[in-house]
């Protein structure tokens, strides 16, 4: 059951996650998630959230205006 709308069912899916860090945009494609089939709200497991944090931390040091990373290749 969806924690946001309380009526939908969550199903496995993928999404694009973006972070704005000090004027730099970090985009991570193909991120595994659970998505509500009613409202579209997306949830990450703890493992996925940890990997997103690691990707963002590594990418911050590049000092690029925009970075696009594929989750599946990291």
Q: What is the pLDDT of residue 23?
A: 87
Q: What is the pLDDT of residue 8?
A: 85
Assess contact for 10 and 17: CB atoms under 8 A: no
From first to last of its 74 residues, what are the pLDDT tens digits of the chain? 899 999 889 999 999 999 999 889 999 999 999 999 999 999 999 999 999 999 999 999 888 999 999 999 87
**Cα dihedral 50→72→34→66 (10° resolution):** 70
Instruction: Give pTM, 2 decimals.
Output: 0.88
Q: What is the pLDDT of residue 74?
A: 76
Cα-atom radius of gyration of the chain, to the nearest Å? 14
One CATH from 3.10.20, 1.25.40, 3.40.50, 1.10.3470 for 10-73:
3.10.20
Q: What is the pLDDT of residue 66?
A: 95
């Amino acid at each position: 059951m969806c924690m946001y709308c309380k009526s939908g069912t969550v199903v496995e899916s993928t999404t694009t996650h973006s972070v704005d860090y000090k004027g730099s945009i970090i985009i991570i494609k193909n991120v595994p998630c659970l998505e509500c089939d009613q409202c579209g709200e997306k949830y990450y497991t703890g493992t996925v959230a940890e990997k997103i944090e690691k990707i963002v931390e590594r990418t911050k040091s590049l000092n690029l205006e925009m970075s696009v990373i594929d989750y599946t290749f990291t």
